[in-house]
Homo-oligomer: A and B are copies of this chain.
Amino acid sequence: MENSKGHTILIVDDEPDILEFLSYNIRKEGFKVYVASNGQEALRIVQQINPSLILLDVMMPVMDGIETCQIIRKDLHLNQPIIAFLTARTEDYAQIAGFEAGADDYINKPIRPRLLLSKIESLLRRIKTSTPKLDASILIDRDRFVVELNGESLALPKKEFELLELLASRPGKVFNRDQILAVVWGNETVVGERTIDVHIRKLREKLGDDYIRTIKGVGYTFQEK
């Protein structure tokens, strides 16, 4: 808890009430908080303060959250911040668009301060763990449709490759089944409940059991060792 105090958090929402509510609650915990009321403004601020975490409302005038997120993710100069979307429970389409744009998490409105804060702690904890580890035991080569694992290269069938590619695109992030289906299978196709599991199993057969972890009731996550 105490080492999180150094982090800077940017909150972006077009409703002043929410901004105030959130910033009050988060400041109270000792974080540095900045606010913006639309995407454009957010981008300006991000450039200057380089926050650790951004809470980003999806629905906003001028520039919505998805777009803002995409722009940030493309900006090479940024120390890529963790981005969590704020969504109304009804906007689940946003989840799919959102993590394609590079989101790390979702926080559903209405927001409970206690839950929010523990989520923030949990997200910030990732920063230490996910950065270094350059021994890159696994490398995914989109060109060759091949995965290099400890120097050996491994050809994967299409679906397996795409699934691994998705999971490995954000190590540590947990993808739920809907998200996986949306990206690997496409939003229209309907496949049975166990299909994903079978592909996961084949991947584990080939990679070993150490890379893909199951989070029961939630989804799967990729991690290097």
A→B interface (CB under 8 Å): 1, 17-18, 21, 29, 73-77, 105-106, 109-111, 114-115, 117-119, 121-122, 125, 134-136, 139, 141, 143-146, 148, 151, 155, 157-158, 172-174, 215-219, 221
Contacts and interface: CB of A to CB of B under 8 A. Distances in A.
A153 B43 CA distance: 33
Given A155-B215, A157-B217, 13 more contacts: A73-B110, A75-B110, A106-B143, A118-B134, A118-B136, A119-B139, A119-B141, A122-B141, A144-B173, A144-B174, A144-B221, A146-B174, A158-B218
B157 A110 contact: no
A52 to B, nearest CB: 17
Contact of A110 (B74, B144, B145, B216): B74
Contact of A144 (B76, B111, B172): B172
Contact of A143 (B74, B136, B173): B173
Contacts of A217: 157-158
B121 A136 contact: yes
Among A77, A136, A148, the most chain B Cβ lie within 10 Å of the Cβ of: A136
Contact of A76 (B17, B106, B122, B172): B17
B145 A122 contact: no
